[in-house]
Amino acid sequence: TNAHVVEGGDDATVVLSDRRRLPARIVGTDVPHDIAVLSIDAGGSPPPIALGRSADVRVGDPVLAIGSPLGLSGTVTGGIVSALNREVRLGGGDRQTAVQTDASINPGNSGGPLVNTRGEVIGVNTAIATLSRSRGPGSISGNIGIGFAIPVDRAADQAKRLIR
């Protein structure tokens, strides 16, 4: 998952697709890369999802973003890879490269997988571009259809480092 998802917490709960809620331990976080590792009891865990390779991702590839945007669990949205190596600010404000997609990513999608058509994780959903401007007494902001995911190879490397 993302470091910003578990920020300030000592424990977490993992909700599975069958709605089971499993207690999780936060193994570690890497704020600059916005990655966190959670541990759940192996007896209750589902089989692991396959990881793709960042080198195999191409602009135009169809993708699905999985998560619970706005608390709507089990949501899947579709789109394409719009750009690779897009520089964005993550975690502690450092600029990192990310996979850009037009698959809808909203608050609650963070930490969920971005998967290819083979069901392989190619990224970890982490951020959206928003448009914000003042109009009258209030302001207007919202998702403009540009989302970002941490490339799977970097996410896996950071996760392995946190587990050690």
- Positions marked active-site: 4, 34, 110
Q: Residue 36 and residue 40: Cα distance in Å, rounded?
A: 13
Under DSSP, is residue 84 helix (H, G, I), strand (E, B) or coil?
strand
Token pair of 63 as six digits: 């993708």
Question: Which residues share a beta bridge with 124?
Answer: 113, 150
Residues in CB range of 118: below 8 A, 6 or more apart = 50, 52
Residues in CB range of 105: below 8 A, 6 or more apart = 65, 67, 69, 77, 125, 127, 128, 143, 147, 148, 149
Pairing of strands 35-39, 62-67: unpaired
**Do residues 158 and 30 make contact, with C-beta atoms less than 8 angstroms apart?**
yes
